[in-house]
């Protein structure tokens, strides 16, 4: 079995979800609670990373995250994942900097959308995810469309992720407004699926909230991680 290294702290709530969900899925597949996967977590300072991104110091982000990945390699990890979507903005650059293989959340999300036959998806996430093209590239390259909310809605989603969800704060008023934003995209943009493009969004939204498929990128990623641990 392989040992997974996790870049955590992006954010803390997602780190907890990854840790618990990997264990739960691993034990379910083995059919026993008497086994545990071996993993290593390196929890970084998410706000330090956000500050670098705000200033567009992408080289500093690459160096910061590359150092975090290398620490996991030195701790014995066989492969590395990042439990947040936002740092995937420099995923390719990080992978070029390090020797240990990494598993992209973006790629696993695209694969799942393709399996479901979706063609026109709405994307929620931080502004770094919604405004940049790193997440959209594999979808667009394969003739899938990605829609994001309008500017005011985009700013609202980002603000609520950073100030509430990243800190484990879940408010019903926020949930209702997020549902309104997605339903407007279903009605006016004709999206046939919605991507929860931040690993904290499942704290507040689920597939029960909409009449289109919901892609929880964290759970999709976690399933692939356990696949890799066991194979």
What would the DSSP string read from start to end of 76-102?
Answer: T-SEEEES-SGGGGGHHHHHHH-SS-B
* φ and ψ at residue 103, rounded to 5 degrees: -110, 120
115 and 86 housed in the same domain = no
* φ and ψ at residue 82, rounded to 5 degrees: -110, 130
SS3 49: helix
Cis peptide before 195 (omega within 30 of 0): no
- Confidence (pLDDT) at 22: 98
- Confidence (pLDDT) at 199: 87
138 and 46 housed in the same domain = no
Q: What is the mean pLDDT of the chain?
A: 96
157 and 211 housed in the same domain = yes
Domain that holds residue 89: 4-104+219-230
76 and 111 housed in the same domain = no
- Confidence (pLDDT) at 166: 87
96 and 8 housed in the same domain = yes
63 and 119 housed in the same domain = no
**Model-level pTM greater than 0.85?**
yes
- Confidence (pLDDT) at 11: 84
Q: Is the pLDDT of residue 35 over 90?
A: yes
98 and 138 housed in the same domain = no
112 and 82 housed in the same domain = no
Q: Is the pLDDT of residue 159 over 90?
A: yes
- Confidence (pLDDT) at 56: 93
86 and 121 housed in the same domain = no
pLDDT tens digit sequence for 102-121: 999 999 999 999 999 999 99
Q: Is the pLDDT of residue 33 over 90?
A: yes
* Confidence tier at 204 by pLDDT (50, 70, 90): very high
Q: Can you tell me the mean pLDDT for 27-31?
A: 97
Most distant CA atoms of the chain, gap in Å: 50
186 and 225 housed in the same domain = no
pLDDT tens digit sequence for 167-180: 899 999 999 999 99
94 and 126 housed in the same domain = no
- Confidence (pLDDT) at 13: 86
Query: How many domains would you assign to the chain?
Result: 2
Q: Is the pLDDT of residue 20 over 90?
A: yes
- The DSSP element (H or E) to which 124 belongs, if any, is strand 120-124
CATH number at residue 115: 3.40.50.1860
Strand partners, 194: 122, 214
Nearest to 221 by CA among 118, 130, 111: 111
DSSP 135: T
pLDDT tens digit sequence for 54-73: 999 999 999 999 999 999 99
41 and 139 housed in the same domain = no
Q: Can you tell me the mean pLDDT for 210-229?
A: 96
Question: Which two tokens mark 131?
Answer: 């405004």
- Confidence (pLDDT) at 182: 98
Q: Can you tell me the mean pLDDT for 145-157?
A: 97
Q: Is the pLDDT of residue 76 over 90?
A: yes
Strand partners, 175: none
């Amino acid at each position: 079995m392989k040992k997974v290294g996790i870049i955590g702290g992006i954010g803390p709530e997602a780190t907890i979800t990854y840790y618990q969900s990997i264990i739960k899925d691993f034990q379910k597949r083995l059919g026993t609670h008497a086994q545990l996967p071996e993993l290593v977590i390196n929890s970084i300072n998410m706000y330090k990373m956000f500050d670098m991104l705000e200033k567009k110091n992408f080289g500093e982000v690459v160096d910061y995250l590359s150092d975090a990945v290398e620490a996991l390699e030195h701790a014995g990890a066989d492969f590395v994942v990042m439990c947040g979507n936002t740092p995937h903005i420099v995923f390719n650059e990080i992978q070029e900097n390090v020797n240990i293989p990494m598993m992209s959340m973006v790629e696993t999300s695209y694969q799942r959308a393709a399996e479901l036959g979706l063609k026109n998806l709405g994307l929620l996430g931080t502004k770094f995810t919604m405004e940049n093209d790193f997440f959209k590239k594999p979808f667009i390259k394969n003739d899938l469309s990605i829609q994001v909310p309008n500017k005011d809605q985009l700013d609202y989603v980002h603000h609520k992720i950073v100030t509430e969800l990243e800190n484990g704060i879940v408010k019903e008023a926020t949930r209702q407004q997020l549902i309104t934003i997605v339903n407007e995209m279903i009605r006016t943009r004709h999206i046939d699926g919605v991507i929860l493009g931040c690993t904290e969004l499942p704290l507040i939204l689920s597939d029960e909230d909409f009449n289109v498929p919901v892609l929880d990128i964290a759970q999709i990623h976690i399933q692939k991680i356990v696949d890799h641990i066991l194979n």
